Chain A
């Protein structure tokens, strides 16, 4: 079993739609959680950290469920510019970041 698992997609959604991605992790001792965005042939960039109480940044909402060991990302009012691959990242040790394989999102006009 992979340490961090994501549905690879692709998720094809129309503009304005709401879309949600989930990510599960296997190490219950994981400390920090993040969503990164990666555009085609570019480097990953931090989208948002994920806090236990849930957090929101504009149209993006991240949730953490430690009991079930999953993280979610909700995107409301999807824009064409949201098309990208979204990487779930779990920090499992002081210097150990585990990356999921990513979920591809394509927002259609």
Chain B
């Protein structure tokens, strides 16, 4: 199993550009999520999905879109990049049922995004 994969690893954008961060998992997990991590702050949830065709907003959704057309893939789209979106982005997945050992979230290696 490759686990959770993310591409690209690094990206530099200019203000106003759009791009898609890719995330894929091969563990047949129902739950997938996107977080951003900024210095001095914990990981903050951007969007999440509980299964193909179902997505919902997290804590900081503005400026981002997601879709979940398959169980495996959960791309994050930046519509019009802003310097405030400079961050490290992590994708994560887990089994949906709450509680217990299957509740573990597995993270991808992250994408380091800089918006100039």
Contact = CB atoms under 8 A, between A and B. Distances in A.
B7 interface: no
Nearest to A89: B105
B104 A46 contact: yes
Contacts of B110: 41-43
Specify the main secondary structure of chain B where it touches its partner.
Answer: mixed
Interface in A60-107: 87, 91, 94-102
A94 B98 CA distance: 6
Q: In the A-B complex, list the 5 residue pairs whose CB atoms are closest, starting with the nearest.
A: A99-B42, A43-B107, A99-B43, A101-B42, A46-B104
Interface residues of B, number: 24
A49 B42 contact: no
Given A44-B107, A97-B105, A31 B98 contact: yes
